[in-house]
Amino acid sequence: MDKDYLIEKWLKDELSPEERLEFEALEDFDLNEAIIQNAKHFKASHFSQAVDYETFKKKLPAKNTQSRVRFMTPMMRVASVAVVCLGLYFAFFFNSITTVTTLASEKTTVQLPDQSEVVLNALSSLDFTEGSWDRKREVSLEGEAYFKVAKGKVFDVITDDGVVTVVGTQFNVKQRNAYFEVKCFEGIVRVRSGDIEKELTEGDSFRLLNGTPSFSETQYQQPQWTKNVSSFKAVPFIEVIAELERQYNVTIVMDDSNFNPEFTGGFVHDNLEHALQSITQPLELTYSNENNLVRLKKRE
């Protein structure tokens, strides 16, 4: 059936059911239908006059219908790209991760979106997502940090060795290789590591060293490293050496690689000589320092 005849009857809304099927089979049916639907949103001017289909047809430019389709397709592609870009923007904005890291011998304080405060020790890293903070207070930690958590929803600290959960309290988390330690200075802290789950109250300390858990108490009101002093209680000497390296950005070599007794004591962060004396004298060791390479050996 003639295409122009079908379009004319379609404009007059006089298509029979059989003619309607033929009209919908036309290659530019979607384009014609879109034009009519969009036209419904406009009002005709009061001074315009209706014209018949033949007059209307003569005024149309003699262009191939396919060119119109090709014109609309890029526009639709641009619109699709714009929608995708907006979606990616909002996804990135609301799910972007903030990462704070410290260098050797560096400490920094981080203010979280709810005004909770985190003091980050040397060579440590903290991750959190600000966009989702209101519904989920959660941070990821590598290294050591002292937390002062504002009251509110549950607050989780995620580490490779365990999860620390609180509501509002002050506590310290240390996660270094096979060393995991949590000290509670105020409130209540719940620690989960593997099959172990422990609730700590003020003054309690939990340690997981090479998979072995232990519990003790601390007499301090806050971590001593926040006052530029590292303190230890029955800690393997290799952990003490590693902490001194982080605080002073030096390399320490022990002549006897099997020497690893437990150490109780501490060292300051503002004087390398004093720090070396503090860790060597109790264990009857001597030291030498050349270009930040420190060698330790047993006293002869």
pLDDT at position 26 is 74
d(CA 138, CA 152): 12
Q: Evaluate if residue 146 carries a pLDDT over 90.
A: yes
Taking the domains of the chain in order of start, what are their residue ranges? 3-94, 97-227, 229-300
Can you tell me the mean pLDDT for 281-288?
96
The DSSP bridge partners found for residue 186 are 170
Assign 50 a pLDDT band (cuts: 50, 70, 90). very low
Q: Evaluate if residue 154 carries a pLDDT over 60.
A: yes
- At 236 the three-state DSSP class reads strand
Assign 5 a pLDDT band (cuts: 50, 70, 90). confident
Q: Evaluate if residue 64 carries a pLDDT over 80.
A: no
Q: Evaluate if residue 23 carries a pLDDT over 60.
A: yes
The DSSP bridge partners found for residue 118 are 110, 147
pLDDT at position 21 is 76
CATH of region 97-227, choose from 2.60.120.1440, 3.40.50.1370, 3.40.630.30, 3.30.420.40: 2.60.120.1440
Nearest to 300 by CA among 256, 241, 263: 256
CATH, range 229-300? 3.55.50.30
Mean pLDDT of the chain: 83
d(CA 110, CA 166): 18
Q: Which two tokens stand for residue 257?
A: 């690689």
pLDDT at position 32 is 61
pLDDT at position 130 is 94
d(CA 140, CA 184): 18
Please write the tens of the pLDDT for every residue from 238-259.
999 999 999 999 999 999 999 9
d(CA 115, CA 127): 16
pLDDT at position 34 is 58
d(CA 89, CA 29): 36
Q: Evaluate if residue 63 carries a pLDDT over 50.
A: no
Please write the tens of the pLDDT for every residue from 162-184.
999 998 999 999 999 999 999 99
Q: Evaluate if residue 295 carries a pLDDT over 70.
A: yes
